[in-house]
């Protein structure tokens, strides 16, 4: 057990020490505190448990394991809740506008509860796209000893299916390839129980990014949700945060510039989600680390894609778990000089020390490619700019879609109109689908275009059309897609001025996205453009739209 000292009670002592704190102690006695507990550092256990999604339905038990670990190490664990929402359920609906907003609500709530209650350290347990970066941002703002625990991945559904299989079944049905009975069979069996979506979608991308950042214990990102390994991970996190308190190791000691470079390289090697760009920019902002889209370009030039994982590949996260997770990959990358080994992690050791005795993957596996046979020699996260995206955009291009696309704009105001156009046959080969007014301000909330991209794939148009938007994409989206186009349409960016038939070129090799319309003609269009009225004037979406920064800056609300 870690030796407990008064220095480890910097914040809780302000709440429970002295005669003037008697009223507070009386309240805490009612929730189970004893005289001895008031002498211990308090560890806030932020649980994202909710029955609104399979990603988080099991996290209450994991939070209890973290509490036990904190208590075992001499601290006093206190569980509290924050929210979560489900992208998989909300995608394609108005409700999806709350998804990215929830990242800020989660960060705010963790900061609020821990700041108010005087927790000395934090363990956060998250299991869905936005609550993971939300947890990190909240802990980073507080800058108290903290550890993030991933809730774990789901197991595959029948026939190697997952949530993306269901989305794409909708498009397959629209094309006439499968009937309603087959859609129902996929729907009934694709999600077998607890855990986050099973490919290298945003949840597994962010879990891997956070482990590479040093803010999770080694192995945390690659464990099945229902497993003894995951329960042990939570218990050890509760113990270890008390050790971090004793050594005064805080998020800003771990979340350094070098650590973010490591994180970027790992999500590239894993063929991770474009949302990783958005969230890493926001997480870096929370600790005042300067990180820009240009950094993703430079790091991407020398980082290969090595993982054959869904959505662009064939394997699921549970299959990567079975061969050792991301630790052997990181060891390979460290040995190749692609990672900084001298950065501090939540183990209290450097990354190099953590990886020193990690064994390589078993012979014969083909989930993680060797460096001399990569899936792509450089990053699949391609930052594009040009006269259509002057301040940048983000594409996920593995090369399987091709590296260049030229086509005619087919313009839609919002996701619903675009989805209808795809399903009813309005969209045809050679089109560049343009979905605008879905940015952080314009939506508001920057919805994911998973329903349209899945419909495109299901209709068999994956190699025949491209899709661009000032919104964003699910980690499950694949195909020739470009999101995060900035400035967004609501701010009068060039995407707001596009017309049907405009010739658009997307070039992943030159990193350019452009429209063949002269500056003079664009100026004429701009003179006629009128900014639309906000979609929301009250509540959290209205507040978000007023505060949020550009997607190129991470879509943060405290800039």
> Do the Cβ atoms of 166 and 178 come closer than 8 Å?
no
CA-to-CA separations, 505 to 148, 175, 300, 467, 502, in angstroms, rounded: 41, 27, 22, 11, 10
Averaged confidence pLDDT in the chain: 97
Give me 377's structure tokens.
Answer: 């020699």
- Indicate the fold that domain 381-553 takes in CATH: Glucose Oxidase; domain 1 (3.50.30)
Helix (H) or strand (E) holding 419: helix 415-423
User: d(Cα 241, Cα 250) in Å, to the nearest integer?
Assistant: 10
* pLDDT, tens digit, 9 for 90 and up, residues 174-202: 889 999 999 999 999 999 999 999 999 99
Would residue 474 show up in a list of annotated catalytic residues for this protein? Answer: yes
**Strand duo 431-436 + 466-469: pairing:** parallel
Domains 6-154+167-355 and 381-553 share a fold: no
- Looking at residue 345, its pLDDT comes to 99
Q: Which residues contact 396 (CB under 8 A, 6 or more apart)?
A: 273, 274, 312, 380, 381, 382, 473, 477, 478, 481
Q: What pLDDT score does 85 carry? A: 96
Rounded CA-CA distance 118/114 in Å is 6
pLDDT of 400 strictly over 80: no
For 293, the token pair is: 């889209």
Of the candidates 141, 102, 150, 103, the residue with the CA atom closest to the CA atom of residue 123: 150
| pLDDT greater than 80 at residue 275 | yes
Q: Which residue, chain included where needed, has tokens 């590239």?
A: 268
Confidence grade of residue 127 (pLDDT, cut at 50, 70, 90)? very high
Closest CA to 200 of 474, 483, 393, 469: 474
Domain spans of the chain? 6-154+167-355, 381-553
Task: Check residues 230 and 164 and name the one with the higher pLDDT.
Answer: 230
Q: What is the pLDDT of residues 282-307, one digit of tens each?
A: 999 999 999 999 999 999 999 999 99
pLDDT for 525: 98
pTM of the model: 0.97
SS3 sequence of 290-352: CCCHHHHHHHHCCCCECECECCCCCECHHHHHHCCCCHHHHHHHHHCCCCCCCCECCCCCEHH
Q: Largest alpha-carbon pair distance within the chain? A: 76
Mean pLDDT score, 228-239: 98
Residue with tokens 């129980």: 193
Compute the average pLDDT of residues 510-528.
Answer: 98
Which of 220, 393, 474, 514 is an active site residue?
474
**Please, which pLDDT band fits residue 402 given cuts at 50, 70 and 90?**
confident
Contact between 350 and 259 (Cβ < 8 Å): no
Ramachandran sector of residue 248 (left: φ over 0; alpha: ψ -120 to 50; beta: rest): left
Strand, coil or helix: 482: strand
State the pLDDT at residue 398. Answer: 83
Task: Give ∠ CA 76-132-199 in degrees, rounded to 5.
Answer: 130
**Pairing of β 146-150 and β 121-126:** parallel
d(CA 290, CA 295): 9
- Rounded (5°) CA angle 463-464-465: 105
What per-residue string of b and e applies to 527-558 under the rule 16 or more CB within 10 Å gives b?
A: eeeeeeeebeeeebbeebbeebbbbbbbbbbe
Do 238 and 47 touch, CB atoms closer than 8 A? no
Question: Per the structure block, which two tokens stand in for 391?
Answer: 């301040």
Preceding amide of 327 cis, omega within 30: no
Tokens of 429: 């080969």
User: Locate tokens 């995951």: which residue?
Assistant: 230
Q: For 441-464, how does the pLDDT look when each residue is reduced to its tens digit (9 = 90+)?
A: 999 999 999 999 999 999 999 999
- pLDDT over 90 percentage in the chain: 94
Helices in 8-153 by DSSP H: which ranges?
Answer: 12-16, 22-30, 59-72, 87-90, 99-117, 131-142
Q: Does domain 6-154+167-355 have CATH number 3.40.50.2300?
A: yes
- Higher per-residue confidence, 171 vs 328: 328
């Amino acid at each position: 057990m870690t030796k407990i000292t008064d220095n480890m009670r910097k914040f809780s002592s302000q709440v429970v020490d002295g005669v003037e704190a008697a009223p507070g102690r009386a309240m805490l006695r009612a929730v189970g505190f004893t005289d001895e507990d008031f002498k211990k550092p308090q560890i806030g256990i932020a649980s994202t448990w909710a029955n609104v999604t399979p990603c988080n339905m099991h996290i209450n038990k994991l939070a209890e394991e973290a509490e036990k670990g904190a208590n075992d190490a001499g601290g006093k664990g206190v569980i509290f809740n924050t929210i979560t929402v489900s992208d998989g359920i909300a995608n394609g609906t108005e409700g999806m506008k709350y998804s990215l907003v929830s990242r800020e609500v989660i960060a705010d709530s963790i900061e609020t509860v821990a700041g108010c209650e005087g927790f000395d350290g934090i363990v956060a347990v998250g299991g869905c796209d936005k609550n993971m970066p939300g947890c990190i941002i909240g802990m980073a703002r507080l800058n108290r000893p903290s550890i993030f625990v991933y809730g774990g991945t789901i197991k595959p559904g029948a026939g190697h299916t997952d949530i993306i299989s269901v989305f794409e079944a909708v498009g397959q049905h629209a094309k006439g390839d499968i009937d309603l009975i087959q859609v129902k069979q996929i729907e009934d069996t694709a999600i077998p129980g607890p855990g986050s979506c099973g490919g290298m979608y945003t949840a597994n991308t962010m879990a891997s990014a956070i482990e590479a950042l040093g803010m999770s214990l080694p192995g945390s990102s690659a464990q099945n949700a229902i497993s003894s390994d995951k329960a042990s991970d939570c218990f050890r996190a509760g113990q270890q945060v008390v050790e971090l308190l004793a050594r005064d190791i805080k998020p800003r000691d771990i979340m350094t510039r070098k650590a973010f470079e490591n994180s970027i390289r790992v999500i590239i090697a894993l063929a991770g989600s474009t949302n990783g760009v958005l969230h890493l920019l926001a997480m870096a902002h929370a600790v005042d680390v300067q990180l820009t889209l240009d950094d993703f370009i430079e790091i991407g030039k020398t980082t290969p894609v090595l993982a054959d994982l869904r959505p662009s590949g064939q394997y699921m996260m549970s299959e990567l778990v079975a061969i050792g997770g991301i630790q052997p990959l990181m060891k390979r990358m460290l040995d190749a000089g692609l990672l900084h080994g001298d950065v501090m992690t939540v183990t209290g050791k450097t990354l190099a020390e953590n990886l020193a005795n990690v064994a390589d993957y078993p012979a014969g596996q083909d989930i993680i490619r060797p460096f001399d046979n990569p899936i792509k020699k450089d990053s699949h996260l391609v930052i594009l700019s040009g006269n259509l995206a002057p301040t940048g955009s983000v594409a996920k291009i593995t090369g399987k879609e091709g590296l260049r696309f030229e086509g005619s704009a087919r313009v839609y105001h919002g996701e619903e109109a675009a989805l209808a156009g795809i399903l009813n046959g309005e969209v045809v080969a050679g089109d560049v689908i343009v979905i605008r007014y879905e940015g952080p301000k314009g939506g508001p909330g920057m919805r994911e275009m998973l329903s349209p991209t899945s419909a495109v794939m299901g209709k068999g148009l994956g190699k025949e059309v491209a899709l661009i938007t000032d919104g964003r994409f699910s980690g499950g989206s694949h195909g020739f897609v470009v999101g995060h186009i900035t400035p967004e349409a609501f701010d009068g960016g060039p995407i707001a001025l596009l017309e049907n038939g405009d010739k658009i070129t997307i070039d992943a090799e030159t990193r350019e996205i452009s429209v063949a319309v002269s500056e003079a003609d664009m100026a004429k269009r701009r003179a006629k453009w009128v900014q639309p009225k906000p979609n929301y004037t009250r509540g959290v979406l209205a507040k978000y739209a007023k505060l949020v920064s550009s997607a190129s800056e991470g879509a943060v609300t405290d800039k």
